[in-house]
Structure 1
Amino acid sequence: MAQQMADASQKKKGGIETRSIDYVPENERHSKVIHQGPFWFLGNFQFFTIAIGFIGPSMGLSLGYTALAGALGILFGTLFMAFHASQGAELGLPQMIQSRAQFGYRGVVLVLIGTLFTFVGFNVVDTVLVSSGLHGIFGWDPTIVALGMAVIGTLLAIYGHDWLHRIFQLCFIISLPLYLMLTVAIFMGEAGGKAPTVALGFSWVAFIAQFAASASYNITYAPYVSDYSRYLPRNTKPSSIIAAVFFGASSSAIWLIAMGAWLATHLGASDGLVALYDAGNHVVHGFGSVIALTSVTALIATMGLNAYSGMLTVVTALDSLKKVNPSVGIRIVTILCLAVIWLAISLAVNGDAIGILFAVLTVMLYLLVPWTAVNLVDYFFVRRGKYAITHFFRPDGIYGAWGKRGIAAYLIGFIASIPFFELIGVYSGPIAEMMGGVDLAWLVGLVVSSAAYYLLSRSIDLTAELPVIAESEQALMQLHNTDHTPEAKAVPVGASV
């Protein structure tokens, strides 16, 4: 009966998802872990990923070293992303709501700023890349292209979780054979191109830059990967979720970064979409248009992903400052506001797309690495997945309004990494200069924040949390036959159920 009521509610709202930052009860967990792999495979299976492979060659790195650095960076970054994915099924919550356990009900706003920058930043770069690419290929007006992308991405985000999964599965089925054809053509020498005229080799600066950009690419999924696993049944094996996300997200990215490196070194490509078009047309006339437009479609779907999680971030921030009703209305208004922001910035941006891409990814890495370190240490090593879920929605709950340990660990890690920053043309930290421009800020932030939080968390009385967790679980059991949010059923600390 409860599921029928939920289905009826969806139909009345035109198929628009009704959940946002609230807990997903067990009777609404309709997703399957088998869908996670193709979903995250497609998330990286478009020409944005190809452009990541341009970074190394633009700094003098050879094809082989670029592919190696890209693969190692992706494997490293995906490791963190995949472990976050298991939190969605276990907790039934968006990722940033769960971060209240480390940063506090209000303190989480600190890291929400960084994550919102990530979502908006990705959509800005996506829009710039597609607009310039389609203009270069077909002569389409960049402003009209940007507007069309914003409309489609906004609609996907408004319809929400299920529609995003459906569109991603469809794009996956269409895209895979096209990229297989192009890859085979490249290996057989049928995609054009010639050996680079300028000698490319190895340098630590370029290798680390390619590694960091690749690692950042999938680490930036960490703040929202559990947004798309929170509809999985709670008893889903964590290892199966982690494996599906890891292999899905890493395999497509490694593949296309290597392809991007080939396009950069053998075709002199500086625009991923144009390069895809040229290589495809060299195989069969017209194939370039098909694969380019397919790639654009996949990227627009990913923009819907960013807008959806950006909405969850903003609503979480608003709720942290003043309690809000996570209604369909606030979801739609928030998504529309985000679309206006990323569209305005995109239309104002001019300049080198590769430079913009690299700079945005680097800043994202600086902001997100300390957060992912704190969150994962808390989840896997401190509290070991045991949380009082109803207390995520209470400023007076056991996690408090301000999580001093999490905030301190984040800031300590971020500040410690500043001397290692290497933002080309913007800022070069003293230690980065001493190391010849090698950027290790992300590694410093990761290690320092992890160690700081683990040491600070030793004073947490985990035994005192156990009765509250038990009360929370009893309260959640009541949600299985209702359609209410956890805050409506939250059990005060020390109260009996």
Structure 2
Amino acid sequence: MRIEASGRGIVERPLDPALQTMAIDRVFWSHFSPNLAPSAWVIGVLVGLMGLDVRTALLALVAGNVIGGLPVALCAAMGPATGLPQIEASRLAFGMAGKRVPALINWASCVGWDAVNNVPSTVALVLLARACGVALPFWLALGLLALAQVLAGAAGHDVVQAIEKYLGWVLLAAFACSGGFALLHLGAVPPLPHEVGLAGGTARGADLALAIRAVASFNLAWAVYASDYTRYLPRGTPPRRIIALTFGGVCASALMMEMFGLLTARAMGDASPGAVIAGLGHLAGPLAPLALAAIALSSVAINAANDNTAAYALMSAGIRLSRPLSAGVTAGLAYLLSVAGAGRFAALYENYLLLALYWIAPWCGIVLADWYGRGRAHPRDDAPDGWAPGASLFVGVTVLTILLFSATPLYTGPVARALGGVDIGYLVGFVAAAAGQALLVRRGRVARPVPEIA
């Protein structure tokens, strides 16, 4: 395996075509394995405890995965042509200065995701150690996991993707066996709490919208990572293959884990990591140690990729740190956040998922409209200097959708109130930002001479 270069050039300059030799199968694994995580199981439990009937809850899972997964796949197809990490590639629409805003936001989001992924994995590792007769304190278990993650993330994309591929097989087998045994233990598909359909009116519609939004957010968050793990493909790789493998990887693993969470929601009782892990351990019976080991290992798969992407983002934001040091800073801050927020995991996780959509959706709409609006014909080094109109559009749409459409425990916008608490801000943000950028491209305000890429 090759250690990735640590200087700023590995982020800011398109890859030398001689480095673009990655095997196509790694596209699937780098998007499949990170979703084999307890955070996806928790989403299923959250949806199962929202008061929806089984069919409506399943609809929320499928719709949310499609809504969140398709933009990720479309972004991933940009990798070979640009040779740039995903956030850095957004300079084509945002400008060299403008891309620093989403880069810094994404780095902060990566710190949050690290913490979100670490808490349940650390709880599982503590319980596994206890079952083996070892008293392992939370802070030490978390430190061991964080160390493994940051070492892998600091090594770079090749090590990260090898981990995703080979650990992915282990996690798939462990979670499939543990989840299957848990469902057999239940004996049948359990009724979800409050068997109520959408006929209940606006309240049920708000619950469905909230469920779809939470599920979509989990997948859509990978859009800002997507080309990080496809840019090493040969430049002539067909975009359709990249899109298909990315979409299949992201959605297949997330849907499997969320389904397990949904169907075991009643047995879990609540979505705190302690309740979910204890419930899974009880239902898995003799496979409980296997389930706990899989949960503990899963954070290495997901946060190795997370720390590597965070390093790219911090460097794209203009912070002059090396890539390994940037990954270490991310992991260190996430460690502190994990310790501080472990006792309020469920509430923090749900709010974090919903808030992430407010900026990722418009960012994604602008990037995709710009890229595909030009026929994927960007030169690899072509980006406007300074602050491009796309960056202004991003800030404006993000702020307006939060003010008008958001529905959170902290604030509810006037449109969301009028809709009975239904928050469609992320959809409006994506569409409005994409339409605005498409209009800019069409009118030529950000047009540049571009050659066609075969």
Question: Is TM-score (shorter-chain normalized) higher than 0.5?
Answer: yes
Task: Report the Cα offset of residue 238 of structure 1.
Answer: 0.2
Instruction: Work out whether residues 80 and 222 of structure 1, in 8 Å CA contact, stay in contact via their aligned partners in 2.
Output: yes
Task: Report the Cα offset of residue 385 of structure 1.
Answer: 1.4
Instruction: Work out whether residues 401 and 426 of structure 2, in 8 Å CA contact, stay in contact via their aligned partners in 1.
Output: yes
Q: Which moved more, 1:255-264 or 1:195-204?
A: 195-204
1:416 aligns to 2:400 (yes or no): yes
Inter-partner Cα distance in structure 1 for 2:176 and 2:297: 17
1:300 aligns to 2:300 (yes or no): yes
Inter-partner Cα distance in structure 2 for 1:272 and 1:349: 12
Task: Report the Cα offset of residue 95 of structure 1.
Answer: 1.0
Inter-partner Cα distance in structure 1 for 2:393 and 2:364: 11
Listed one character per residue, the Cα deviations across residues 94-149 of structure 1 (whole Å, up to 9, x for unaligned) are 11121111111111112123212321110111123333444466464221122112
Inter-partner Cα distance in structure 1 for 2:285 and 2:50: 32
Inter-partner Cα distance in structure 1 for 2:348 and 2:174: 28
Inter-partner Cα distance in structure 2 for 1:52 and 1:308: 24
Inter-partner Cα distance in structure 2 for 1:63 and 1:88: 38
Task: Report the Cα offset of residue 431 of structure 1.
Answer: 1.6
The answer for the alignment partner of 2:201 in structure 1 is none
The answer for the alignment partner of 1:167 in structure 2 is 163
* DSSP-derived class of the 2:377 partner: coil
Residue identity opposite 2:71 in structure 1 = F
Listed one character per residue, the Cα deviations across residues 11-33 of structure 1 (whole Å, up to 9, x for unaligned) are xxxx4545730322111112111
The 1:279–1:337 alpha-carbon spacing in structure 2 relative to 1, beyond 3 Å, is closer
2:62 to 65, 68, 71: 71
Instruction: Work out whether residues 82 and 231 of structure 2, in 8 Å CA contact, stay in contact via their aligned partners in 1.
Output: yes
Inter-partner Cα distance in structure 1 for 2:179 and 2:273: 15
* DSSP-derived class of the 1:345 partner: helix
Larger radius of gyration: 1
Alignment of 1:345-494 (within 5 A): 345-381=337-373, 383-392=374-383, 399-403=384-388, 405-418=389-402, 419-423=404-408, 425-460=409-444, 465-466=449-450
Instruction: Work out whether residues 41 and 261 of structure 2, in 8 Å CA contact, stay in contact via their aligned partners in 1.
Output: yes
Q: Which moved more, 1:89-98 or 1:194-203?
A: 194-203
The answer for the alignment partner of 1:102 in structure 2 is 93
Inter-partner Cα distance in structure 1 for 2:356 and 2:448: 36
Inter-partner Cα distance in structure 1 for 2:375 and 2:63: 28
Inter-partner Cα distance in structure 1 for 2:411 and 2:355: 11
Listed one character per residue, the Cα deviations across residues 242-292 of structure 1 (whole Å, up to 9, x for unaligned) are 00000111011111111111121244253457535644554542x111122
Instruction: Work out whether residues 281 and 289 of structure 1, in 8 Å CA contact, stay in contact via their aligned partners in 2.
Output: no
Residue identity opposite 1:440 in structure 2 = I
Inter-partner Cα distance in structure 1 for 2:88 and 2:96: 8
* DSSP-derived class of the 2:353 partner: helix
2:194 to 173, 192, 199: 199
Q: Which moved more, 1:438-447 or 1:290-299?
A: 290-299
Task: Report the Cα offset of residue 355 of structure 1.
Answer: 1.3
The 1:267–1:361 alpha-carbon spacing in structure 2 relative to 1, beyond 3 Å, is closer
Task: Report the Cα offset of residue 411 of structure 1.
Answer: 2.6
- Could you state the TM-score of these two structures normalised by the residue count of structure 2? 0.89
Instruction: Work out whether residues 191 and 279 of structure 1, in 8 Å CA contact, stay in contact via their aligned partners in 2.
Output: no
The 1:228–1:241 alpha-carbon spacing in structure 2 relative to 1, beyond 3 Å, is same
Instruction: Work out whether residues 146 and 343 of structure 1, in 8 Å CA contact, stay in contact via their aligned partners in 2.
Output: yes
1:123 aligns to 2:123 (yes or no): no
Task: Report the Cα offset of residue 47 of structure 1.
Answer: 1.1
Instruction: Work out whether residues 208 and 438 of structure 1, in 8 Å CA contact, stay in contact via their aligned partners in 2.
Output: yes
Task: Report the Cα offset of residue 237 of structure 1.
Answer: 0.2
Aligned identity (percent) is 23
The 1:412–1:427 alpha-carbon spacing in structure 2 relative to 1, beyond 3 Å, is same
Alignment of 1:17-416 (within 5 A): 17-18=5-6, 20-21=10-11, 22-135=13-126, 138=130, 140-186=136-182, 189-191=184-186, 195=190, 198-202=193-197, 203-272=204-273, 275=276, 278-279=279-280, 282-285=283-286, 287-318=287-318, 330-381=322-373, 383-392=374-383, 399-403=384-388, 405-416=389-400
The 1:61–1:92 alpha-carbon spacing in structure 2 relative to 1, beyond 3 Å, is same
The answer for the alignment partner of 1:484 in structure 2 is none
* DSSP-derived class of the 1:439 partner: coil
Task: Report the Cα offset of residue 296 of structure 1.
Answer: 2.1
Instruction: Work out whether residues 57 and 264 of structure 1, in 8 Å CA contact, stay in contact via their aligned partners in 2.
Output: yes
Inter-partner Cα distance in structure 2 for 1:192 and 1:295: 24
Inter-partner Cα distance in structure 1 for 2:447 and 2:440: 17
Residue identity opposite 1:268 in structure 2 = G
Instruction: Work out whether residues 118 and 299 of structure 2, in 8 Å CA contact, stay in contact via their aligned partners in 1.
Output: no
- Could you state the TM-score of these two structures normalised by the residue count of structure 1? 0.82
The 1:289–1:191 alpha-carbon spacing in structure 2 relative to 1, beyond 3 Å, is farther
Instruction: Work out whether residues 42 and 276 of structure 2, in 8 Å CA contact, stay in contact via their aligned partners in 1.
Output: no
Inter-partner Cα distance in structure 2 for 1:131 and 1:242: 33
Listed one character per residue, the Cα deviations across residues 325-351 of structure 1 (whole Å, up to 9, x for unaligned) are xxxx71122122222221122222254
Residue identity opposite 1:302 in structure 2 = I
Task: Report the Cα offset of residue 84 of structure 1.
Answer: 0.4
Instruction: Work out whether residues 32 and 252 of structure 2, in 8 Å CA contact, stay in contact via their aligned partners in 1.
Output: yes
Inter-partner Cα distance in structure 2 for 1:177 and 1:65: 28
